[in-house]
Amino acid sequence: MEYLKSIVPLLLPELLLVVAAGFLFLLGISTKVGARRAAPWISLLVLGGCCWLILGEPMKLSGFDAKGTFEVTSFSLYIKLLACGVGILLTLLAWPTNDDATGNPSLNFGGDAGEFFALMLLSLAGVLMVSGANDMILLFLGIELASIPTYIMVSVSRPTAVAQEAGLKYFFLGALAAALMLFGFSYLYGTTGTTSLHDIGQLLAGTQAGPAGATVPTAWQVLALIMLLLGFAFKLAAAPLHFYAGDVYQGAATPVTAFLSFVPKVTGIVAIIKIMWVYGGNGFAVPEIFAKLLFAIAVITMFAGNLLGLMQLNVKRVMAYSSVAHSGYLLVGLTALAYAGGNGSVQNAALQGVLFYIAAYGIMNVGVFAVLQMIPAREGRSTTTAETYEDLAGQGRKHIGLGLAMAVGCFSLIGLPLTVGFFGKLYLIVPAWNLASVEPELKGKMAWLIGLTMLNAAISAGYYLKIVGTMFLRPEPPLFGDSVSSLPVPARSLAPTVAVVLATVLTLGLGTLIPATQLLTTRVTDSLEIGRQPPLVAPDTASVAESR
C-alpha cells in the first residue's frame, strides 16, 4: 500500500492514458455513432490533461518510486510533454471526418474509432513509461507497450492488402527486434545480477579504468550492448534494421505513417540514451566501443536513408527513408554525446541537441504528413490520398495553402534557415565542434562526422526539393480515361487543417522567433538532469546518490 502511495502520483499521466484507453475500448463496442464520435474528443482531452499534469503543479515533485524502478526526472518530463504534445497533432490527423465516424478519407477504421484511439493512447502511454523506466523490465515493457498497438494500427488503418502485408511484416520484424532486445537484456542481467538500470550503472561505474574515466564492460556486456542497439535500431528505423520502413510506411494509412515515424523513434532514442547512461556508469563516460558503434550506425543510417530516398517514386516511401535519415541525424548527436565522455558542458549540449531535434522532427514531419493526407489521390486506386509524385503534381498551384505548408515542411527537413530544422541541425553540430575544440585529438573524428552529416543534408535536399518542385513547378497531369470522373477535392475538414496550420506555424515560429526557440531550448536545458535527482524514498539508493 505504501508502495502504491508512492508510485501513483508519479504515474499520473500514464495512468490517465491507460484508463482513458480502457474506457475507449468499452466505448468502441457501443452501437451508437454518437458514442464513437466522442472517442477522438476524449483522447484529445486526455492528452491535453496529460500536458497540463506534466506542466502543472502535481508533477513538480520528482524522483524515484520506492523500489527505484520508475523515475520522474526533468528529462522524462520533457519526453512526456513532447509525446503528448505531438500526440495531440497526431490525433488531429487521425480525426474521423466521415459522416458515420468510420475514419477520414485517408484512414479507415470502420466502426472501430474507439478502439483506434485507444490503441493510440496506449502506445503513447508506452512512450511515457519508457521515459521514466529505471529498470530493464519496465523499459522493455514500455517499449513493447509503445510498439504492439502500432502493429494493430497499421493493419486496421485501411482495408487493403498492402496494409495487411505491412502490418504483418511490421509485427514479425518487431518481434525479432524484441527478441534481440531481450537477448541483450538477459546478458546484461546475467553479468550483473540485477535488473535495475541504476544499479547496473553503479556496478559499471566501479570499473572506470578506461581512458577519460570510461567504463570497461566485459565482452558479454559488449555483446549485450550490440544486441540492444540492434533492437533499438529497429524502433528508430536505423541501419541495419531499417529495411521494413519503406513497405510499412507505404502500407499504413497516412496518419498512421505519421504516427509510426515519430512515436517508435522517440522510444528508441530515449532507450539508447538510457542505455548510454547505464554503460557510462551513471554518466555518459561510455566506453569507446559504444561511441564507435554509434558512429557507424549513424553514418550508415544517414546514407541508407538518403540514398534510398532519392530512388523512390512513392512519396510515402520517400518520407519513410527520410525518417530513416533523420534517425541518422539523431544518432549523430548521440555519437557526439558518446565521445564527449566525462566532459560536462559538451555532453549537456549534445543531449540538448538531440532532444531539441526530436521535437523539431516531430513538428515538421507531422506537417508534411498532414499535407499528404489532405491532398487527394489521382487515379482510381484503392487509396484516396496522395501517395505518388503524380498525385502531387501541380497541387501546390491548385491549393496554395497546402503547397506552402508542404514547402515549409520540406525546407525545414532539409534544414534551410528560418525553419526549426535549421536550428535542429545547428544544435546537433555545434556540440560536436565544441567537443573538437575542447579535445583536439577528436578533431578529425568530429570533422568526419560533421562532414558526412552535411553531405547527407545535401543529398536529402534532392528528394525534398523534388516534392516541392512537383507540387509547384509541374502542371497537373491530365486525367486518365474513365478511372475517375472528377478529381476528389482535398479533405477540407477542420481537424487536419488545424494540424497543418499548427505544424507550419510551429515550424516557422521556432525557426524565426528567437524567443520561442529560446523557450524550447531552455525547456530542454532544464531536462538535462537525467537521473540526477535524489530518490524520493528508497534509502539504499539515496546513499549511492550522495556518494556520486
Residues binding another protein (CB under 8 A): 345-346, 348-349, 352, 397, 411, 414-418, 422, 425-427, 429-431, 433-434, 436-437, 443, 447, 450-451, 454-455, 457-458, 461-462, 465-466, 469, 472-474, 514, 517-518, 521-522, 525-526, 528
Nearer to another protein by C-beta: 26 or 514?
Answer: 514
Shortest Cβ distance from residue 50 to another protein (Å)?
25
Residue closest to 239 by CA, chosen among 292, 293, 289, 185: 293
Shortest Cβ distance from residue 442 to another protein (Å)?
13
* CA–CA separation, 337 and 347 (whole Å): 5
Nearer to another protein by C-beta: 241 or 429?
Answer: 429
Nearer to another protein by C-beta: 141 or 465?
Answer: 465
Nearer to another protein by C-beta: 237 or 285?
Answer: 285
Nearer to another protein by C-beta: 4 or 400?
Answer: 400
Rounded to 10 deg, the angle between the 12-28 and 113-132 helix axes is 160
Shortest Cβ distance from residue 511 to another protein (Å)?
10
Nearer to another protein by C-beta: 126 or 421?
Answer: 421
Residue closest to 366 by CA, chosen among 377, 358, 355: 358
* 3-state DSSP of 79-130: HHHHHHHHHHHHHHHCCCCCCCCCEECCEECCCCHHHHHHHHHHHHHHHHHH
Shortest Cβ distance from residue 347 to another protein (Å)?
9
* CA–CA separation, 17 and 19 (whole Å): 6
Tell the residue number behind the cell numbers 570510461, with chain if given.
214
Nearer to another protein by C-beta: 282 or 470?
Answer: 470
Shortest Cβ distance from residue 308 to another protein (Å)?
18
Nearer to another protein by C-beta: 190 or 417?
Answer: 417
23 burial type by CB count under 10 A (0-12 exposed, 13-18 middle, 19+ buried): middle
* CA–CA separation, 284 and 223 (whole Å): 19
Nearer to another protein by C-beta: 8 or 455?
Answer: 455
Shortest Cβ distance from residue 326 to another protein (Å)?
16
**107-108 and 103-104 as β-strands: parallel, antiparallel, unpaired?**
antiparallel
Residue closest to 504 by CA, chosen among 428, 430, 418: 418
Nearer to another protein by C-beta: 256 or 524?
Answer: 524
Shortest Cβ distance from residue 391 to another protein (Å)?
17
Nearer to another protein by C-beta: 45 or 447?
Answer: 447
- For residue 477, say if its preceding peptide bond is cis, omega within 30 degrees of 0: no
* CA–CA separation, 317 and 251 (whole Å): 9
Shortest Cβ distance from residue 417 to another protein (Å)?
4
Q: How far is CA 157 from CA 30, 488, 502, in A?
A: 20, 20, 24
* CA–CA separation, 35 and 51 (whole Å): 25
Shortest Cβ distance from residue 54 to another protein (Å)?
19
* CA–CA separation, 198 and 459 (whole Å): 41
Instruction: Give the HSE-up count for residue 311: Cα atoms under 13 Å, Cβ half-sphere.
Output: 6
Q: How far is CA 40 from CA 44, 384, 394, 454, in A?
A: 6, 21, 33, 41
Q: Is the dihedral of CA 498, 499, 500, 505 positive or negative?
A: positive
* CA–CA separation, 272 and 285 (whole Å): 14
Where is 105: in which H helix or E strand?
none
Shortest Cβ distance from residue 321 to another protein (Å)?
18
Shortest Cβ distance from residue 258 to another protein (Å)?
25
Residue closest to 304 by CA, chosen among 253, 350, 261, 240: 240
Nearer to another protein by C-beta: 129 or 406?
Answer: 406
Residue closest to 357 by CA, chosen among 130, 135, 82, 43: 82
Shortest Cβ distance from residue 351 to another protein (Å)?
10
State the CB neighbour count (10 A cutoff) for residue 449.
23
Residue closest to 256 by CA, chosen among 442, 447, 123: 123
Nearer to another protein by C-beta: 182 or 461?
Answer: 461
Shortest Cβ distance from residue 355 to another protein (Å)?
12
* CA–CA separation, 155 and 251 (whole Å): 9
DSSP letter (8 states) at residue 71: E
User: Which are the contacts of 444, defined by CB distance < 8 A and separation ≥ 6?
Assistant: none
Angle at 69 between CA 68 and CA 73, to 5 degrees: 80
* CA–CA separation, 241 and 542 (whole Å): 39
Nearer to another protein by C-beta: 169 or 443?
Answer: 443
Q: Strand, coil or helix: what is 216?
A: coil
Shortest Cβ distance from residue 475 to another protein (Å)?
8
